[in-house]
Chain A
Amino acid sequence: MADLKLIKRGAEAELYRGEWLGFDAIFKRRVRKAYRNADLDRLIRSTRTSLEAKLLSGAKRIGVPTPVIYSVDLHKTEIVMSYIDGTTLKKLLPDMGDAEINVIFSVVGDCVAKLHRGGIVHGDLTTSNILVINGKIFFIDFGLGEYTESLEARGVDIHLMRRALESSHYQSSRLAYQSFAEAYSKTLGDGAEEVLRRVGEIRRRGRYVDGGRCMVD
């Protein structure tokens, strides 16, 4: 574990690349935040590390591609996982044509439906948290996720993705969401309509959104 190379300083963790028992690995360390109260900081980092490890392997078990976990250290708040040699969807999206967007977001929709069906919400479905490699996608960063089957949590999960699309990729957001919703409904089946209706409702709860807070559709 001698040669760790810092490859990304994210918002809440530092990512190092190195070798773990001969495997090409990512070391994700949640670092202490100087701006936060020390007790609160400790609590947030250890809960999220443990939860993320559980969710990453839980997701894989239900057929959603994620990195393989090699090791978890709650004291160092570190997860060691397999290195995925992919590119973030955030980087690829601006150069994608409509057909490609349709294909990739159908896959995203299918995977998110599988997660939800398996009782997992991701909690931070931005295009930075989806890696693409040869047309296959991997989900990373489950630190804000949870094990839940609640309609509200599923709705919020999708609402946040839609909003992230609109703020970062305004041009393609409509098509992307459409493809997503279609694939999500197809995979999830009966419950999907209810979830997507809730997404609309959550959106209207936002401050000053047209249509008001208490109107239905």
Chain B
Amino acid sequence: MSSVRYVLGIESTAHTFGCGVVSSEGVVLSNSKSEYVPKAGGIHPREASQFHAANASATIRDSLSVAKMDLSQIDAVAFSAGPGLGPCLRTGATAARMLSLMAGVPLIPVNHCIAHIEIGRVACKEDDPLIVYVSGGNTIVSAFSDGRYRIFGETLDIALGNCLDTFARALGLGHPGVPKIESLADEGKVFIPLPYVVKGQDVSYSGLLTMAIRKSKESDPNDLSLSLLEVAYGMLAEVTERALAHTEKPSLLLTGGVARSQRLQRMLESVCREHAARFHVVAPEVAGDNGAMIAWAGYLGLLKGQEIQVEKSFIKPKWRLDQVEVPWRT
């Protein structure tokens, strides 16, 4: 497999259709994406998948053209096989299968969560960081042990990004919600108590969201935004701190779409300082869902023979992070 130089990756778990090309050195050569934005409410899986189908071809072409390549130079095609929304995953998988057959190169199924972790790890050059992975769909504190990324803590219900996005919509702040809540919070002064729910290593955001929306009628939006972020991020910081103390990992990697939040970065950096751990955050270009991270995780998997026949390349909408063998790490 030493002949593998360039891998193309397709991402389509939720609202982003992404296509990226990476080299075997972990350099991102292109990372194109198109993003489905619902007219109202959250993601509608079927509409999102139709959006992806309509934009797949242009996104893939753009990715190859930015990388200054044509399909014949690609050595393998990776796709996000899960976890995610079924209709969206199927659209990306179909595109990836087709590319793999056209180019006559291996097809590699990639776990979306693993991709978020590995793209952060290659850039920060940390061998064994504690992982905090936060996005619209996931909230996970994880560390590598015994051949897999084990889950130390996670959300018991909705994800952090989901909680904040829904609150933003309820306040009519639009999409993307997190930066808007953060700028309101910067003006907030009074802390309004909200449900702070930490259970062991886990967090729960659904009660917090309900209460925050309920209080939005009577409270100052700046104060409420401040309080929501302090409680939501504070809960995550607490379980992160506990995981750091428990695992004694030398460093922490913050990854996923919500990793772009500077307020969250500051908070976790402060946690790291107290425990003498090095703090790293994934680069903003590869923080949210993207194809390049799939390509890179696909490359790592390919080195360990994780290619799959097209006939067997099923999607796995419920593919948990801790079910995945990680043979490229020891």
Contacts and interface: CB of A to CB of B under 8 A. Distances in A.
Given A34-B270, A209-B318, A10 B245 contact: yes
A11 B242 CA distance: 5
A206 interface: yes
Given A207-B155, A208-B83, A12 B238 contact: yes
Interface in A1-25: 9-12
B277 to A, nearest CB: 12
Nearest to B233: A35
B267 interface: yes
Contact of A11 (B157, B226, B244, B270): B244
A167 B150 CA distance: 5
B196 A40 contact: yes
Contacts of B202: 160
Interface stretch (A67-75, A118-126, A186-194): A118-126
Contacts of B270: 34-35
B182 interface: no
Given A12-B242, A170-B150, A207 B230 contact: no
A156 B150 contact: no
A44 interface: yes
Contacts of B320: 206-209
B305 interface: no
B245 A11 contact: yes
A34 B202 CA distance: 21
B230 A40 contact: yes
Given A36-B234, A156-B199, A170-B150, A126 B318 contact: no
Nearest to B151: A167
B154 A206 contact: yes
Nearest to B138: A207
A215 to B, nearest CB: 12
A36 B230 contact: yes
B198 interface: yes
A164 interface: yes
Interface in B108-146: 138, 143, 145-146
B271 A35 contact: yes
Nearest to A39: B191
A81 to B, nearest CB: 20
Contacts of B247: 168
Contact of B191 (A37, A126, A168, A210): A37
B294 to A, nearest CB: 17
Nearest to B268: A35
A107 interface: no
Contact of A160 (B138, B201, B244, B246): B201
Contact of B200 (A36, A164, A166, A168): A164
A15 B16 CA distance: 47
B83 A207 contact: yes
Given A34-B270, A124-B200, A163-B151, A210 B318 contact: yes
A43 interface: yes
Contacts of A11: 238, 241-242, 244-246
Contacts of A168: 145, 150, 246-247
Contacts of B246: 11, 90, 126, 128, 168
A9 to B, nearest CB: 8
Contact of A36 (B152, B154, B237): B237
Given A12-B241, A37-B191, A167-B145, A144 B198 contact: yes
11 contacts: A35-B234, A35-B267, A36-B230, A160-B199, A164-B152, A164-B200, A166-B150, A170-B146, A206-B320, A207-B83, A210-B318
Interface of A: 9-12, 33-37, 39-40, 43-44, 90, 123-126, 128, 144, 156, 160-161, 163-164, 166-168, 170-171, 205-210
